[in-house]
Amino acid sequence: NRAVVLAKRPNGEPQNDDFRIEEQPLVPLAEGEILVRTVWLSLDPYMRPRMNDMKSYAAPTPIGGTMTGEVVGEVMESRSTKYSVGDRITAYGGWQEYFIKPDDAPMMYKIQDMGIPLQAYLGAAGMTGRTAYFGLTEIGKPQQGDTLVVSAASGAVGGIVGQLGKMYGCKVIGIAGGSEKCQFVVDELGFDACVDYKAGNLEKDLQQACPNGIDIYFENVGGDVTRAVAKLLNSGARVPICGYVSNYNDTDLSKVQTPQDILATSPNPPTARFFVQTEWQDQHQQTTQKLAQWVKDGQLVYRESIVEGIEQSIPAFQGMLKGKNFGKQLVSISPE
Ligand code: NDP
């Protein structure tokens, strides 16, 4: 079994020697355990803060520990009555080719085959789709006619937020890096408009796209994007703070101006809350079913960036933190 482990803590952008690929032996299963072959690995921005030695809602990855990550896998061997050989599951298996889990591992779910691509259970019908859904509905509280602004709009979470926003009758404005991503956000994802924050006129362009101000801002990136949004918030605005990826490679995350800090300077400080999709674990399975049905019906569309083989997870991850991905970043680890 090959695994990517954290060799040392990165200082800024993760470098190749911050990771190490190790051959790890697979031990025999204990009672109640399953052996899983990783088929798809999901790469997500949250993995970067976990590489730091800092307290957050999740414990940091220890030095020498396997990089955390959610995967789609196939059960190869089972000493559990809950899982059979051949079952497809999603689980926090990590960046590795095989893994062993107890059958009661948290957030490990059997995939109900609905005829959609397996890897969708890591994206639109998986963790990032649920993040979009819970953040928007529980904190954003969308109303017909609201102006909803979504950053990292072409990405895994942002792309779904905007499409859900349209279902709720919002006017949806995306913010993304580059004209190709912006065109995709409007033409394929159906947003009403998309502002290219790299074009150099973010404040003006955003103001033009939001003549009635902003009622909901779905926060994915932080920094200058949030500064521009903060000026345009309407009274009573809601901001689900999902993440702030633009700061994740900063050398000291504890010193950055967080989205909360920036939003507090708004002429209309919003109701803003940082959330984690695990807050709604009791609704995970039903929400996955709902999202999977929308994917099947073509109501939710998405784009993927796919690389192949465990070695490629490292450059793909480094690139994703700089926006080189275009849509959900995935690694194909072994054939379906
Ligand atoms: P994406 O698929 O959106 O990929 C990351 C994107 O971030 C890049 O494509 C890039 O888009 C954008 N980005 C990178 N650097 C910058 C920068 N300096 N300034 C502005 N944008 C930048 O990733 P996800 O959809 O998986 O994640 C989006 C956010 O959601 C992250 O903040 C993540 O931490 C958060 N998240 C939170 C969860 C929760 O439970 N709270 C769960 C899952 C994700 P572009 O080229 O357009 O700039």
Q: What is the DSSP letter of 250?
A: S
- Cβ atoms of 251 and 15 within 8 Å: the answer is no
Residue 106 has pLDDT above 90, yes or no: yes
CB of 276 closer than 6 angstroms to any ligand 1 atom: yes
Residue ranges of the chain assigned to CATH 3.40.50.720: 128-278
Looking at the CA of residue 327, tell me the nearest atom of ligand 1.
Answer: 2
Q: For ligand 1, is residue 226 a contact (CB within 6 Å)?
A: no
Q: What is the mean pLDDT of residues 34-56?
A: 93
Give the three-state DSSP class for 226. Answer: helix
CATH 3.90.180.10 domain span(s) along the chain: 2-123+302-332
> Which of 164, 44, 121 has the alpha carbon at shortest distance from 296?
121
316 lines ligand 1 (CB under 6 A): no
Average pLDDT over residues 178-190: 98
Q: Is 214 in the pocket of ligand 1 (CB under 6 A)?
A: no
Q: Is the CB of 253 under 6 A from ligand 1?
A: no
* Rounded Cα gap, residues 206 and 232, in angstroms: 9
CB 328 within 8 A of CB 183: no
pLDDT of residue 54: 80
Residue 93 has pLDDT above 90, yes or no: yes
Number of CB atoms found within 10 A of residue 71's CB:
27
pLDDT at 253: 81
pLDDT for residue 57 is more than 70: no
**How far is residue 160 from each of residues 164, 189, 204, 301, measured CA to CA in Å?**
6, 8, 26, 8
Is the CB–ligand 1 distance for residue 129 below 6 Å?
Answer: no
- Give the rounded percent of residues in the chain with a pLDDT score beyond 90: 96
Note the pLDDT tens digit of each residue in 135-174.
Answer: 999 999 999 999 999 999 999 999 999 999 999 999 999 9
285 vs 90: CA distance, rounded Å: 11
CB 150 less than 6 A from any atom of ligand 1: no
For the segment 92-99, the average pLDDT, to the nearest whole number, is: 98
Any ligand 1 atom below 6 A from CB of 29: no
Residue nearest to atom 18 of ligand 1 (CA): 246
Residues 6+ away with beta carbon under 8 Å from 44 = 69, 70, 127, 128, 156, 329
| CATH 3.90.78.10 given to domain 128-278 | no
For ligand 1, the distance from its centroid to the CA atom of residue 152, given in whole angstroms, is 5
Pocket test for ligand 1, best of 245, 249, 307 (most atoms within 8 A of CB): 245
pLDDT score recorded for residue 329? 98
pLDDT at 319: 97
From atom 8 of ligand 1, which residue's Cα is the shortest distance away? 323
Please say whether the structural domain 2-123+302-332 has been given the CATH code 3.90.180.10: yes
Ligand 1 lined by 305 (C-beta under 6 Å): no
Looking at the chain, list the stretches that DSSP marks H as alpha helix, in order from N- to C-terminal side: 47-50, 127-134, 156-167, 179-187, 202-209, 223-230, 259-263, 284-296, 313-320
Amino acid at 226: T
Which of the listed residues 70, 157, 175, 183 should we mutate to test ligand 1's pocket, taking the one with most ligand atoms within 8 A of CB?
Answer: 157
CA distance 72 to 192: 33
Has residue 58 got a pLDDT over 90? no
Task: Please identify, by atom number, the ligand 1 atom nearest to the C-alpha of residue 247.
Answer: 18
Write the DSSP assignment of 14-69 as a string of letters: PPGGGEEEEE-PPPPPPTTEEEEEEEEEE--TTHHHHTSS--SSSPPPPTTSBPP-
Between CA 334 and CA 220 the distance in angstroms is 30
